[in-house]
């Protein structure tokens, strides 16, 4: 099983192309407010994450995901169950 830190590093690389301007990505970085994701970009990111981790991410986790750290925690649970 991948550690949260390993998942975070991979998420930073997946999220970085979606940033409007170069910002320092961290566990507390907000996906909407700081990265600037809109609904279309959220879905594009979800597809990239599913392809990268070879999992299916249920849409019902999105209300619990505000930061990159939140996403890492959700992914860690999904990867554990797959």
Quick: pLDDT tens for 21-72: 889 999 999 999 999 999 999 999 999 999 999 999 999 998 989 999 999 9
Please check whether residue 76 is in contact with residue 7, taking contact to mean a CB–CB distance below 8 angstroms: yes
Domain locations along the chain: 4-81
What is the reported pTM? 0.90
- Say which residue the tokens 């860690």 belong to: 76
Of 39, 47, 49, the closest CA to residue 11 belongs to 49
Which fold is adopted by the domain 4-81?
A: 1.10.1200
């Amino acid at each position: 099983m991948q550690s949260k830190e390993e998942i975070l590093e991979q998420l930073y690389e997946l999220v970085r192309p979606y940033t409007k301007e170069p910002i320092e990505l961290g566990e507390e970085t907000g996906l909407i407010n700081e990265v600037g994701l809109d609904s279309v970009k959220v879905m594009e990111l979800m597809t990239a994450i599913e392809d990268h981790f070879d999992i299916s991410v249920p849409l019902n986790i999105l209300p619990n995901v505000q930061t990159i750290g939140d996403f890492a925690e959700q992914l860690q649970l999904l990867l554990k169950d797959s």
